[in-house]
A = this chain, B = another copy of it.
């Protein structure tokens, strides 16, 4: 079966760019600068479902996403997580956190989303920071 993005990820995010392994998405929640990386490999649910090479590639792209958020937002902390309890397609959250943000010091999941009023400039800045044109 070929890869296609999970409908829930499609619905909750904007596309930012394509890296060699992952599609990079921006969560439509302006409370937190929040990227999601989805390896374009069909039928994977766990990190360990990927080949060892793809795992390393994923971590390299997660690191790139961390650097991009650091460059654009200068956060106090980065949160990186592969949970997938609700969406059964392997995806990694990379989130910029601030000591004064809406969830600090707790994790961000479970709070109501605050959709972007204008997402295009944010997407553009992140895309550039991720090396996309």
Q: How far is A59 from B81 in the complex, measured between Cα atoms in Å?
A: 13
Residues in A84-133 with C-beta less than 8 Å from chain B: 84-86, 97, 104-107, 109-110
A107 with B83: CB separation less than 8 A = yes
Does residue A10 face the partner (Cβ distance < 8 Å to B)? no
Does residue A4 face the partner (Cβ distance < 8 Å to B)? no
Does residue A55 face the partner (Cβ distance < 8 Å to B)? yes
State the number of copies, please: 2
A60 with B52: CB separation less than 8 A = yes
Residues of B within 8 A of A82 (CB): 79-81
Report the minimal beta-carbon distance from A88 to chain B, rounded to whole angstroms: 9
Does residue A66 face the partner (Cβ distance < 8 Å to B)? yes
Does residue A18 face the partner (Cβ distance < 8 Å to B)? no
Q: How far is A67 from B48 in the complex, measured between Cα atoms in Å?
A: 8
- CB-nearest residue of chain B relative to A82? B80
Does residue A47 face the partner (Cβ distance < 8 Å to B)? yes
Q: A residues engaging B (CB < 8 A)?
A: 45-48, 52, 55-56, 59-60, 62-63, 66-67, 70, 77-86, 97, 104-107, 109-110
Having A46-B77, A80-B82, one finds 11 other A-B pairs with CB under 8 Å, namely: A46-B78, A47-B62, A47-B80, A48-B70, A48-B78, A52-B60, A56-B59, A79-B84, A81-B83, A85-B97, A106-B110
